[in-house]
Chains A and B, each alone.
Chain A
Amino acid sequence: MSALRLINETSASSVTTMSVTDVFTSDFDIYKITLYSESALEQETHIRLINSSGSIITATNYNYAQLFLRSYSAFSEVRSAGDSILRLITGSEDNYGGNAVVWVFNPTNTSSYTFILSQMSRGYDLNNTNAFNYNSNKNIGVLKDTTAITGFHILNNTSVTANYEARTYGLRVDNG
């Protein structure tokens, strides 16, 4: 039996945001999220974390660093040492869709910040010519806050309607 445990499936259609609540608990230290995002209009799909009081954390305590890879052009770096989001987890345009696997570390541990590691693969329309353009990224991020985190919130940078699907898994640890 694998150590991965499906905890939650959440999806929403034609929304700008989607919250997944009460999925991080003391049962697991490490979580894996698969995320799909699809929209007709261009958008970057971001994540904010939700604390144990149910509040979406919007303070500028998110740090991230990622390499942005393009099939059609040079790669570039994306980073911030004080943003209100974990930026560009995935994204979409022209309904090409975007996918990501996101690992979340120590969300409920109040002695530790919450860290993420993610990788995405998506399509968008670079020049608005209805032509497909591909990009990917590899990303690390942290919320510099020791508040217990119990969920996450999906949003996008242009507040366009999108379809989102998220599955959350816990990584089980058994005593040897």
Chain B
Amino acid sequence: MAYGYLGQNAPNQTVSNSGVFDISDVASLEKQGKFGGSLELIEEQTVSGVSAVDFTSIKENKYDVHKIEWNDLIIGTAIGNYLQLRFSNNGGTSYIASGYQVAMQYGGSNASFGELKSTSTNSITYLSYSADTTSNANQNGYLYLYNLGNSSKYSFLTNQSFSQSTSTIAFFYFGGGVLPTAETHNAVQLLLSNGATISGTFKIYGLKQL
């Protein structure tokens, strides 16, 4: 097919060009993964004062790798809170609250660096941290989720975040976690470790595959 040109005398080329793509070109090229962006937004939520952010339609059968971003996350109570993630195997009716493992590194702009780890915890925790409720003390970060829709594989995570956690200290957190149970996970929940409310914007994407 000669993509990008209309008319009966179109040249027989297959490389990308700046011509006009008709609807058949688009459909064909999308199937090949060669048209359109490959970071596909599944859902975006902007929340204010909620106890948790749930994504219950994550298209786990379509994507092997998901990405979640959080932007301007503000906590509702001025006590230390880690951002945490839990999986669901029943579409978000309930979320699994045991059996996770994590390994995270943190570092502060005016504080020591350190390790956070567990072989048995109630979530993949330590994703980011804040103890400040002011509007400019926000948390931002991203994480990748792997194999959620594959019932024979464990669900893994990697993450990177940064936050202005108090008036004087900015922190980074990076590392990963896993729920070592081979089953399909079809919803995810983000919440805070000390129960503070959440305000901010959360997006979940799928990385395109053929």
Contacts and interface: CB of A to CB of B under 8 A. Distances in A.
Given A69-B105, A69-B176, A99-B156, A5 B115 contact: no
B38 A72 contact: no
A69 B119 CA distance: 12
B158 A136 contact: yes
Contacts of A123: 154, 156, 178, 180
B174 A119 contact: yes
Contacts of B147: 36, 97, 99
Interface string A32-75: 00101010000000000000000000000000000101111111
Majority secondary structure of chain B interface residues (helix, strand, loop or mixed): strand
Interface string A124-138: 000000001011101
* A interface bracket (residues with beta carbon within 8 Å of B): 35 or more
A121 B156 contact: yes
A14 to B, nearest CB: 16
B62 interface: no
* B interface bracket (residues with beta carbon within 8 Å of A): 35 or more
8 contacts: A3-B37, A36-B64, A97-B147, A132-B154, A134-B103, A134-B180, A136-B103, A136-B177
Interface of A: 1-6, 9, 34, 36, 38, 67, 69-75, 96-101, 119-123, 132, 134-136, 138, 165, 167, 169
Interface of B: 33-34, 36-41, 64-65, 101-105, 115, 117-119, 144, 146-147, 153-154, 156-158, 160, 174-178, 180, 205, 207-210
